[in-house]
Amino acid sequence: MKKIVALLTLMALLIGLIPTYASIYDPGAGNMFIQTENKKSVNMREEPNTDANILTTIPHGKTVLVYSNFMSDQWAHIQYGMFNGYVMRKFLAEKKIMYIKSGNGKSVNMREGPSTDTRAITSLPYGSGVIVFGDFESDQWLHVQYGMYNGYMMSKFLKDQEPAPFVPPTPKPTPVPTARPTGMPTYIPTTAPTATPSPEQRRVNEIKEAQMLGIVPQGMKTDGTATWDDLNNLLTNVIRLKTRNPAAQRTHVYLTKEEYLASSAGAQYNMVLRGVAAGEMYGAMLDMGDDKHVNNLTNDPFIADYTDISFAQQYAGRTAPYNPNDWRTKDLGEMVLSVLDHTDARTGESVFSLDVEYKFYPTHPLTHEDAILAALRLYNSCSSYLGTVVVSHNRPVNLRKGPSTKHAIVGRADPGTSFSVVAVEKGGEWYNVLLPDGKTVYISGSMVAFYPQ
């Protein structure tokens, strides 16, 4: 009996001498992330109290292994590298946000499994934010979610910090041989003239752009009629891109899926009426905080079939008297006018448009093509733009991270390049401008010509 007691005593002493860097076998352990509001490091302590010795500090965003053998509302037993200790539970999260960053500024594939041999579910644009889960451990792959898509992405394309806008490097000009003087100046064009695309080709180009931005869900057709789910997915993706929040949801919905199915707004034919679609577009504008066109009647066009908008509203079941606390009781005609006033800042195309006879066709089915174009134009809408700047300097000019020459250069723009203006800084000395990928940079006011909206 004495030998057994002595053996147990020796084992207890040996356990007490286990160093803080020893790992523990725990099948119930799982990965979590260090998350702090101020993005500062967190102390790992030797014991579960703030008076214990600090073993190390763990940076915000790092992955730690959380053991299941310690139960506490305030502390967790973790492993970080070679250190074994305790951190406060309020600094642990099961998921975090990371950002797409590719070396060439192109989109990155999300796949069904952690292998390049698996099917690509979708392709995510440079700079997009994704939710990363801690339930999968791999040196090369991470388990992620983007909107409705859930899959795996290579870890080398995901960064904790939102990347600076990608600006392609300016190509070196090809030397032009100097001709002998002939008494007349020689004009050498800097670029070859580009033919203006036809309306059909422009629509094709816009659809491709919407697909590349991730507005169009994977597998959505460009022909045929759009359903409630199709329109909902398009507008949800627009809101997520516009707000830069991959988990954002629509909160201003004209007809919920249940209300749509119970109405006469096309549900029985598996389609959405154009008038109802305008109501959903109006709600998306509210979701993005855009009320520029709500009460502006200056540019309202004449609509030849305005009466049919009332029919669409009746089909939707929105016939209750106007209630200022419920935007959905607003006259649908006013919503249509607001959407018609809303235009793509780059092309001037309306989110929705009239035909040559000024007809809107509110009781006709919404096509996939019109739904995709409307979503893209809503994303590119000019609601927050003050005007346009054009590079007037005769050499490429710097694009900077902030409004001064002390800020880092993030790219260059060639003479003649135009940008939409988001804000004017320092009395016109600097302009905050929008890049094609949705990011913003600053350009000196002395290098551009400004054209107000």
Element (H, E) at 378: helix 368-379
Is the distance from CB of 147 to CB of 236 less than 8 angstroms? yes
- Check if 24-93 and 96-159 are the same fold: yes
Is the distance from CB of 272 to CB of 228 less than 8 angstroms? yes
CATH 2.30.30.40 fits 96-159, yes or no: yes
pLDDT at 236: 93
**CA 165 to CA 437: how far, in whole Å?**
7
- Candidates 261, 247, 240, 221; CA nearest to 371 is 221
The Cβ of residue 180 has, within 10 Å, a number of other Cβ atoms equal to: 4
- Candidates 449, 311, 453; CA nearest to 392 is 449
Is the distance from CB of 412 to CB of 398 less than 8 angstroms? yes
Query: Which CATH architecture group holds 24-93?
Result: Roll (2.30)
- Candidates 62, 68, 104; CA nearest to 83 is 62
**Exposed / middle / buried, residue 272 (Cβ in 10 Å: 0-12, 13-18, 19+):** buried
Phi/psi of residue 166, nearest 5 degrees: -85, 125
Domain definitions of the chain by residue range: 24-93, 96-159, 213-379, 387-452
Superfamily (CATH H level) for 387-452: SH3 Domains (2.30.30.40)
Is the distance from CB of 255 to CB of 315 less than 8 angstroms? no
Q: What is the pLDDT along the chain (453 residues), one digit of tens a residue?
A: 545 445 445 444 444 444 454 556 677 788 888 988 888 899 999 999 999 999 999 998 888 888 887 778 899 999 988 899 999 999 988 888 889 988 888 888 888 889 988 888 878 888 888 888 887 777 789 888 876 678 899 989 998 888 888 777 666 555 555 444 443 333 333 344 445 677 788 888 888 878 877 889 888 888 888 999 999 999 999 888 777 788 889 999 999 999 999 988 888 778 899 999 999 999 998 888 765 545 555 556 788 888 899 999 999 999 888 898 999 999 998 899 888 877 776 677 888 888 888 889 998 889 999 999 999 888 877 445 667 788 888 888 899 999 888 888 888 888 888 887 877 887 678 888 877 666 788 999 888 887 765
